[in-house]
Structure 1
Amino acid sequence: MNYEVIVTCAVTGAGDTTSKHPAIPVTPKQIAEAAIEAARAGATVAHCHVRDPRTGRGSRDPALYREVVDRIRSSDVDVIINLTAGMGGDLEIGAGEAPMQFGAGTDLVGGLTRLAHVEELLPEICTLDCGTLNFGNGDTIYVSTPAQLRAGAKRIQELGVKPELEIFDTGHLWFAKQMQKEGLLDDAPLFQLCMGIPWGAPADVGTLKSMVDNMPAGAQWAGFGIGRMQMPMVAQAMLLGGHVRVGLEDNLYLDRGVLASNGMLVQRAVEIIERLGGRALTPAEGRKKLNLPARGERLLDRRKIEQFA
């Protein structure tokens, strides 16, 4: 049981949700405001993707990330910034007997190119998706090969950013532990157990517990479920000793038929945590828990490096 819980809010994602919810954050201003809203509701961490403001589709544009991060950092609200580094792994295999005719949904770049915005902005945390996955029921695969992962983990380590190791299935956990053995991950790694994404690990207690039981010593971990399993997984992750994640990236509804905001989802998660006898950690407390620098220290370090470059 974990009584001191880090609450992450994944505020927008990159999925096709803008047609399903009228208030999905799309522009950098909206995404930053969503992160600030989540922090005011009790979130410790804001996990941010960016979207093309014209189309609403997921983007890798560092300029969009820069605006989001600048807006959050210049606000009067503290929150740990966690940027995705997963964009650029989509491969849409050609249909039928023409698999090499890749589809329009393909956006496939190398592991280091996926880190361009992380290199520039030095967030406190960035994600590292720890394996390849059949994604959905069509021909799309999310690609993250062992070689790409080793290169990405090494670069993240050099930057001094903490990787959040995204675990979509049991083999991903196995490989993440292998990277730790190889010295590509620092001590007390941070794992995010992503439950219920077709076709990875199902969002059930047995699967979640089996992965928790295989965590390396000293690891910090969080777990989440998508859709209607979001709040049940808040309780299950806390009961099994972990931290939690909610947000519009993973679930659009507060209750059946009731569309949510990020703030509403954070408030519901905090209520569950408190009813189980725990509390949500502040960003300052979360930094101590995750061995992160105090607020603003990384930005000061970057300015010193640039001054003497």
Structure 2
Amino acid sequence: MTRRSVAQPVGTLITVATTGAETAKADAPGLPTTLDELVETARRCEQAGAALIHVHVRDDAHEPTLDLARLRETVAALRETTDLIVQLSTGGAVTDPYADRLRVLEADPDSCSLTCGTTNFGDDVFLNPYPFMRELYLAAREREIVPEFEIFDLGHLASLERLLGERGLPYGGRVHVDLVLGVPGALPGTTASLVAALAALPDAVTSWSATGIGRAHLPILAATLSAGGHLRVGMEDNLILERGRPVRHNVELVDRATTFATLMQRPPLTTDQARDLLQVRPRAA
């Protein structure tokens, strides 16, 4: 299915989701949970081809936190040491209250995640009622922060279409969605699910990426490139590089994504090209 609103890209936006809020440091020692580890990871992943970093922050006990001071410190450190587009998660952990998730925007990232509906998340429920989604959207636009619309279920695309119809386009005028496939209780990590989601994309969508959770990582990576999409990889979503071999560093996943994208004659976008794709604010001097 060809969508007039989604141009076939000449390159690939590679997003690295480094940490997440679910995996314990003890279970994945290579998970970057300190600021120094995150900065080192960001620099290596940028050199390997990533143009955007999706960030969750941990506290001194390596537990997920939405502490505003830590978020601000993290954004500043990443901007000082890399040219990456800095995207903060507004999802946090599934237990984080709405007020704390909204406050993430006060750290002034380039971009933020915006999940387009409530979904089952393993044994938990990730709550994203429409009024919260709308409030987060309007606050991001007021602060000139570009949202990335996270889609876990097909109904989320209908909610996104409703939001855009009622409230207009986001800051920058582009609409980028990320399809998250393989979370237990949400869209399965299959090519059929990817195709179904692409068929349901609102006409306003200008670009899209996808990620496969766990064992869906490689099949979704390959299917996404073949369908003209962009890639999200990282230890937030996948901890196994190959059978019997855990991921030791996020750069391994970025290296593999870069190899696949280059073989498909869609090499990684530079950070400047990615900013143009998403219409993110120019990098501050």
TM-score (normalizing by structure 1) = 0.84
Q: Which has the larger radius of gyration?
A: 1
Matched, 1:79 2:84: yes
Deviations 1:198-251 (A, max 9, x none): 111001111111111221235211101011221221221121121110001011
Taking the TM superposition and a 5 Å limit, the aligned residue runs for 1:203-282 are 203-219=189-205, 220-260=207-247, 261-282=249-270
2: CA distance between counterparts of 1:184 and 1:125? 18
Q: Give the structure 2 partner of residue 162 of structure 1.
A: 146
Higher relative contact order, structure no. (Cα contacts within 8 Å, ≥ 6 residues apart): 2
User: What SS does structure 2 have at the residue aligned with 1:241?
Assistant: coil
The percentage of aligned residue pairs carrying the same residue is 32
1: CA distance between counterparts of 2:59 and 2:187? 30
Q: Give the structure 2 partner of residue 179 of structure 1.
A: 163
- Aligned pair count reads 274
Taking the TM superposition and a 5 Å limit, the aligned residue runs for 1:85-100 are 85-87=90-92, 90=94
Deviations 1:63-117 (A, max 9, x none): 2212221211111x311111101126x3xxxxxxxxxxxxxxxx3422x531213
User: What SS does structure 2 have at the residue aligned with 1:163?
Assistant: strand
Deviates more, 1:251-260 or 1:164-173: 251-260
2: CA distance between counterparts of 1:177 and 1:240? 22
Judge conservation of contact 2:48–2:255 (CA < 8 Å) in 1.
yes
Judge conservation of contact 1:157–1:184 (CA < 8 Å) in 2.
no
Give the C-alpha shift of residue 289 in structure 1: 1.1
For 1:243, give the aligned amino acid.
H
Segments of 5+ residues of structure 2 without an aligned counterpart are: 1-7
For 1:73, give the aligned amino acid.
R
TM-score (normalizing by structure 2) = 0.91
Segments of 5+ residues of structure 1 without an aligned counterpart are: 91-106, 298-309
Match of 1:20 among 20, 27, 34: 27
Q: Give the structure 1 partner of residue 76 of structure 2.
A: 70
User: Structure 1's 113 and 22: CA in aligned 2 closer, same or farther, altered over 3 A?
Assistant: closer
Q: Give the structure 2 partner of residue 98 of structure 1.
A: none
Q: Give the structure 2 partner of residue 99 of structure 1.
A: none
Judge conservation of contact 2:191–2:219 (CA < 8 Å) in 1.
no
1: CA distance between counterparts of 2:174 and 2:75? 26
State the 4+ residue runs in structure 1 displaced beyond 4 angstroms.
Answer: none
